[in-house]
């Protein structure tokens, strides 16, 4: 089983200041939303790969992407059948559905789904890097520094801490119920839902008990003692970190400039727009690729500086 937990592998990416990673992922995230042109989005997706490889989290990443891939597949299929825009007909259903009319399948609708999926994959890939390379407690500290309320951040962090415990609970309880002759995949839908209750009820009530116990333990260790609270660890920004942080926002600035120049747009409907890039566009794309690609060498350089 691949664990979806943070593990300190000590790579340059792991060592990189969380704010820099947050900044970079924010850039990717925003750009993936503002660019419609699939070429631009593809570039963003490719830009996440060097970090995944450098951080040596590709196995974890792959299992997340596998899940994301199935999600995308369903998006493509549903979109293709529901959307009736587009002018190139692939197939038309021989029957009619009241109100909606006869379902049609168009080239444009299929490719629109593909484009959207690419966007989603890019965003998921970027966030996967965050999850696998930032210690959850550091992420919590970073969030607090960004002025999010401590209690909400703590609750979120506690929740992530207990996900693996919850998975263990599910396994244990389903062992118990299967030993009592429960067959999860037999019978009609209603029967199946009902048999799931044999697992869900113990799971939920055990979790409730757990919550009370944690609350007790926290209270006994002076949780909520006063307004003030120290944070033993700090996420500090050194001068080098600030430099990298600025670089991490560079792609975002570039992207906004490109959008202002009228680049990165794309129309799927009613007919697919032809992708033709001019000299300036190639130049800007290369610049964007360069600014995105800076992150990995900068992280490695930073690690070396820290070692010296």
Partner 1 sequence: MIKIQNFTFYYGGAEKPALKNINLEIADGEFVLVTGPSAGGKSSLCRCINGLIPHFYGGKVTGSVEVQGLNTLQHSPKELATRVGMIFQDPENQLVTQDVEREIAFGLENLAFPRDLIARRIEESLDTLGISALRHRPLHELSGGEKQKIAIASVLALHPEILILDEPTSELDPKSAEEVLSIAQRLNDELGITVILIEHRLDRVIQHTDRLIVLDGGEIVVDGSTRQVLQENYQEISGAGVGMPPIIKLAHQLEIMGITDNKTPLTVKEGRVMLQEVFQKIAGELPQQEKKGINRPAIEVGKLWHVYPDGPAALKNVSLAIGEGEFVAIMGRNASGKTTLVKHFNGLLKPTKGSVVIHGTDTGRATIAELARQVGFVFQNPNDHLFADTVEEEIGFALKNLGLENGEVRSRIDEVLGRFRLDKYRRQYPRALSGGEKQRVALASVLAVQPRILILDEPTRGMEYRLKSELMAFLRDYAGQGNTVILVTHDVETVAEYADRVLLLGEGKVVVDGNKRDVLSRALLFSPQINRLVQAFARYGVPNDILTVDEVLHLLK
Question: What CA–CA distances, in Å, run from 178 to 183, 205, 245?
Answer: 6, 19, 52
Which part of the chain contacts partner 1 (CB under 8 A), choosing from 61-69, 201-209, 238-246, 251-259? 201-209
186 or 274: CB nearest partner 1: 186
Is residue 198 a contact residue for partner 1 (CB under 8 A)? yes
Which part of the chain contacts partner 1 (CB under 8 A), choosing from 77-85, 212-220, 265-273, 286-294? 212-220
Whether 105 and 80 have beta carbons less than 8 Å apart is answered as yes
Is residue 180 a contact residue for partner 1 (CB under 8 A)? yes
Is residue 201 a contact residue for partner 1 (CB under 8 A)? yes
Instruction: Label residue 228 exposed, middle or buried (CB < 10 Å: 0-12, 13-18, 19+).
Output: exposed
Smallest distance, partner 1 to C-beta of residue 127, A: 19
Is residue 164 a contact residue for partner 1 (CB under 8 A)? yes
169 or 281: CB nearest partner 1: 169
Max Cα separation, the chain?
72
Query: If residue 164 lies in a helix (H) or strand (E), which one and from where to where?
Result: helix 150-179
Smallest distance, partner 1 to C-beta of residue 137, A: 6
Binding residue (CB under 8 A) for partner 1 from 181, 262, 278, 279: 181
Tokens of 64: 């997340």
DSSP 211-229: HHHHHHHHHHTTTT-SS--
Is residue 219 a contact residue for partner 1 (CB under 8 A)? yes
Binding residue (CB under 8 A) for partner 1 from 226, 262, 278, 279: 226
Rounded distance, CA 218 to CA 186, Å?
43
Question: What CA–CA distances, in Å, run from 258 to 34, 255, 284, 292?
Answer: 11, 5, 7, 15
Binding residue (CB under 8 A) for partner 1 from 98, 175, 236, 278: 175
Smallest distance, partner 1 to C-beta of residue 34, A: 35
Interior angle at CA 52, CA 46 and CA 55, nearest 5: 150
101 or 164: CB nearest partner 1: 164
Is residue 213 a contact residue for partner 1 (CB under 8 A)? yes
26 or 131: CB nearest partner 1: 131
Question: What CA–CA distances, in Å, run from 148 to 22, 114, 152?
Answer: 15, 36, 8
Q: Is the dihedral of CA 246, 251, 252, 256 positive or negative?
A: positive
Number of residues interacting with partner 1: please give it, by CB under 8 A.
57
Which part of the chain contacts partner 1 (CB under 8 A), choosing from 24-32, 223-231, 261-269, 278-286? 223-231
For partner 1, the binding residues in 228-247 under the rule CB under 8 A are: 228-233
Q: What is the DSSP secondary structure assignment for residue 85, as one 8-state letter?
A: -
Select from 299, 305, 253 the least CA-distant residue to 129: 299
Chain positions contacting partner 1, by CB under 8 A: 1-2, 5-8, 135-137, 154, 157-158, 161, 164-165, 169, 172-173, 175-183, 197-202, 205-206, 209-210, 213-226, 228-233
């Amino acid at each position: 089983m691949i664990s979806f937990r943070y593990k300190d592998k000590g790579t340059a990416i792991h060592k990189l200041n969380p704010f820099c990673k947050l900044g970079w992922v924010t850039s990717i995230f925003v750009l993936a939303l503002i660019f419609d042109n699939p070429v631009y989005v593809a570039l963003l997706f490719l830009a996440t790969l060097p970090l995944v490889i450098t951080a040596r989290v590709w196995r974890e990443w792959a299992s997340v992407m596998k899940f994301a891939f199935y999600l995308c597949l369903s998006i493509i299929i549903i979109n293709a059948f529901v959307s009736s825009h587009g002018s190139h007909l692939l197939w038309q259903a021989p029957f009619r559905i009241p109100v909606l009319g006869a379902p049609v399948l168009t080239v444009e609708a299929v490719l629109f789904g593909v484009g959207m999926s690419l966007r989603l994959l890019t965003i998921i890939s970027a966030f996967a890097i965050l999850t696998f390379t930032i210690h959850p407690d550091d992420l919590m500290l970073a969030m607090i520094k960004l002025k999010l309320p401590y209690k909400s951040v703590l609750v979120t962090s506690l929740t992530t801490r207990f996900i693996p415990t919850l998975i263990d609970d599910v396994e244990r309880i389903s062992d118990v119920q299967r030993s009592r002759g429960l067959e999860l995949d037999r019978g009609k839908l209603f029967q199946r839902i009902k048999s799931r209750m044999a697992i869900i009820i113990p799971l939920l009530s055990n979790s409730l008990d757990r919550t009370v116990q944690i609350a007790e333990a926290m209270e006994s260790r002076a949780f909520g003692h006063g307004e003030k609270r120290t944070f033993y660890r700090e996420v500090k920004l050194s001068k080098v970190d600030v430099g990298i942080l600025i670089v991490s926002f560079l792609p975002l600035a570039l992207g906004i400039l490109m959008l202002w120049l009228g680049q990165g747009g794309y129309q799927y409907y009613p007919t697919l727009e032809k992708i033709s890039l001019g000299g300036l566009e190639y130049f800007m794309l290369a610049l964007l690729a360069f600014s995105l690609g800076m992150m990995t060498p900068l992280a490695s350089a930073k690690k070396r500086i820290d070692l010296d």
